[in-house]
Amino acid sequence: MKFRLSALIFGLALASVACHRSDPIVVRVYDKELSLSQLQAMLPSYNSQDSIMLSQQHIQAWIQEQVMLHEAERSLTSQEQDFTEELNDYRTALMIHAFENKYLASHVTKDMISNEEIEHYYRSHPQQFLLQQNAIKLHFIKFNMNADNIEKAQKLFFKTRTVQEEQTLENICINDAENFYLQNRWILFDDVLKEIPLKDYTKERFQNKETNLTLNDSDYLYLVRIIDYKTSENIAPLSIVRNQITDILLKEKQITALEQLHAKALDKAKNNGEIIY
């Protein structure tokens, strides 16, 4: 199939040169034609191998569509083929939707939502943000077993560090570690498990002050320091649900903005005497 399509396109290109046609026809169905330029417009990367397969799919889909359109035109009466009202309704909906989206893009953006609004919503709706899984606040460094500076990192990692020692540890992480995380932010426990073998860690172990861990598997050594731990069904930390709250507040502001836009447009029409009963 790929060879046939490549040969088809190559043949069309040669034919266009021979007959001086700038846009050769790929396929004709009844009185409808699909040109090479129309086919190319359907494909974002026409010269890639994937596009060869996609071209064939588009051609077959276009053929099927034209065959069915021909049968529909033959079978439906002129009245049954009249979709003027439906098309007008559809155009109206598209126009209003495009206008509203353009208005919202310039009048309601995420950077308009303040930290105070986010924190207020978080405090006012605690039951809306129950954790569905455990969450953890931790630091970790993941080393390849043969990495340099592991011992030096161990000495620095589990102690209270000066600013200079903090910079030294970060440099070791950047230069020698496979991965690391030294931020004081909450993370979903399942996301941590993608990097660290902590599957057996529990709230009880945290409560028993088992917070400084050195773990290893066949390939890696892990330095882990647990700072805090929350089990599911507790209120999620704000840092985990901040984006969710931002989206909620953005949607609320969009609804309010559209209500104001509709009211303003209606008032304008009324005041200009454009509404006549």
pLDDT in tens, 184-219: 999 999 999 999 999 999 989 999 999 999 999 989
| Domain finish residue from 209, 230, 251 | 230
Q: Tell whether 196 is covered by a domain.
A: yes
Same domain, yes or no: 18 and 63: yes
Same domain, yes or no: 116 and 157: no
Same domain, yes or no: 117 and 135: no
Q: Name the domain count of the chain.
A: 3
Same domain, yes or no: 209 and 166: yes
Q: What is the pLDDT of residue 11?
A: 53
User: 174: domain CATH number?
Assistant: 3.10.50
Name the nearest CA neighbour of 32 among 68, 6, 84, 75. Answer: 68
What helix, strand, coil percent values describe the chain, rounded to 5?
A: 55, 15, 30
Instruction: Record the tokens describing residue 205, joined without a space.
Output: 């172990």
| Domain finish residue from 75, 90, 119 | 75
Q: Tell whether 91 is covered by a domain.
A: no
* Percentage of the residues of the chain whose pLDDT score is greater than 70: 90
Same domain, yes or no: 141 and 258: no
Same domain, yes or no: 164 and 198: yes
Residue 204, domain extent: 131-230
Same domain, yes or no: 141 and 224: yes
Residue at 272: amino acid letter: N
Q: Tell whether 147 is covered by a domain.
A: yes
Entry pTM: 0.71
Whether residue 82 is predicted with pLDDT greater than 70 in this model: the reply is yes
Same domain, yes or no: 61 and 191: no
Instruction: Record the tokens describing residue 126, joined without a space.
Output: 């605690």
Q: Tell whether 265 is covered by a domain.
A: yes
Same domain, yes or no: 190 and 277: no
Same domain, yes or no: 145 and 211: yes
Q: What is the pLDDT of residue 207?
A: 92
Same domain, yes or no: 243 and 223: no
Angstrom distance (rounded) from CA 99 to CA 73: 34
Q: What is the pLDDT of residue 47?
A: 53
Give yes or no for a contact between 157 and 175, defined as CB atoms under 8 angstroms apart.
no
Angstrom distance (rounded) from CA 196 to CA 193: 5
Q: What is the pLDDT of residue 186?
A: 95
Q: Which of 11-20, 64-73, 105-114 has the lowest mean pLDDT?
A: 11-20
